[in-house]
């Protein structure tokens, strides 16, 4: 055997580092792209993914300083859940009642996955009317009531290109597990469309 045959070529260190870097990029790029699309809406085909309308950028509910029974709502102490958020007044008109009913029925239809979702009535006045309080207690016992400032919510929505009054428009939202309002719905959306969206989110997220 000759000296040439006995010599084993030394591995190219730089080439190995480059291959490792490329492998990391192959793994990371889809995650980066998914994060960018999810939080900005950039690159998402219009009308082909979700039935709800994407808020771009999403709105962190915590920035509106929501209160529940006088206490500041702290998401860090909450279980990981998706949430339907329905803005409303002290008195709930027909559209408001319809939204409460529709989101309740969708919640029920989730069956065993219902524990991963909850509903929030986002009160834009100081207190609920006695009639609405009694209705919620009787018909929506699992509905949580939180209070935010009306002007703060309206101003925050304008940054996501929604300049209408959310209550007057019958607008409500799907909030992700991190506390971001990410999809918005109106009375034109059906229960089947809401159910399809939330099932998709539950399938692709962790408990």
Q: For all residues of the chain together, what is the average pLDDT?
A: 86
pLDDT in tens, 160-182: 888 889 999 999 999 999 999 99
Domain count, the chain: 2
Residue 173's domain spans which residues? 52-204
DSSP 164: S
Average pLDDT over residues 47-62: 86
Whether 34 and 97 map to the same domain: the answer is no
Rounded to an integer, the average pLDDT of 139-156 is 96
Cα atoms in the Cβ-side hemisphere of radius 13 Å centred on 183: 23
DSSP secondary structure string, 97-148?
Answer: HHHHHHHHHHHHHTGGGGGGEEEEEEE-SSS--HHHHHHHHHH-TT-EEEE-
* Model pLDDT, residue 206: 73
Which tokens sit at 121? 């009535």
Is residue 161 domain-resident?
A: yes
Selected residue with higher pLDDT from 201 and 21:
201
Same domain membership, residue 129 and residue 93:
yes
User: What confidence tier does 21 reach under pLDDT thresholds 50, 70, 90?
Assistant: confident
pLDDT higher than threshold 90 for residue 143: yes
Contact 109, 194 (CB under 8 A): no
φ, ψ for residue 42, nearest 5 deg: -65, 130
Give Cα 177 distance to the centre of its chain.
6
Do 21 and 123 fall within a single domain?
no
The answer to whether residue 68 is domain-embedded is: yes
Residue with tokens 């709105």: 59
User: What pLDDT was estimated at residue 30?
Assistant: 53
- Given a contact cutoff of 8 angstroms between Cβ atoms, the answer to whether 186 and 171 are in contact is yes
Say if residue 32's pLDDT is above 60: no
**Domain match, 77 and 158 both:** yes
Q: Kindly state whether residues 96 and 19 are assigned to the same domain.
A: no
Of the listed ranges 31-35, 53-57, 186-190, the one predicted with least confidence: 31-35
Length of the chain: 207
Q: What's the distance, CA 91 to chain centroid?
A: 26
Both tokens assigned to 53: 């309308």
CB atoms within 10 A of CB 45: 7
Clarify whether residues 57 and 115 are in a common domain: yes
């Amino acid at each position: 055997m000759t000296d040439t045959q006995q010599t084993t070529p030394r591995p190219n260190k730089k080439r190995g580092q480059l291959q490792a870097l490329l492998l990391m990029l192959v793994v990371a790029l889809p995650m980066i792209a998914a994060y960018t699309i999810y939080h900005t809406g950039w690159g998402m085909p219009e009308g082909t993914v979700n039935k709800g309308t994407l808020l771009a950028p999403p709105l962190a509910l915590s920035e509106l300083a929501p209160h529940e029974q006088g206490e500041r709502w702290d998401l860090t102490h909450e279980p990981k859940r998706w949430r339907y958020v329905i803005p409303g007044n002290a008195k709930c008109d027909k559209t408001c009642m319809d939204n409460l009913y529709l989101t309740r029925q969708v919640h029920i239809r989730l069956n065993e996955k219902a524990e991963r979702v909850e509903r929030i009535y986002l009160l834009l006045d100081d207190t609920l009317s006695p009639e609405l309080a009694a209705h919620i207690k009787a018909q929506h016992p699992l509905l949580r009531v939180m209070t935010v400032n009306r002007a703060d919510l309206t101003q925050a929505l304008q940054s996501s290109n929604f300049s209408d009054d959310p209550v007057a428009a019958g607008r409500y939202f799907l909030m992700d597990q991190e506390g971001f309002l990410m999809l918005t719905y109106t009375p034109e959306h059906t229960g089947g469309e809401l159910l399809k969206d939330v099932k998709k989110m539950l399938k692709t997220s962790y408990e």
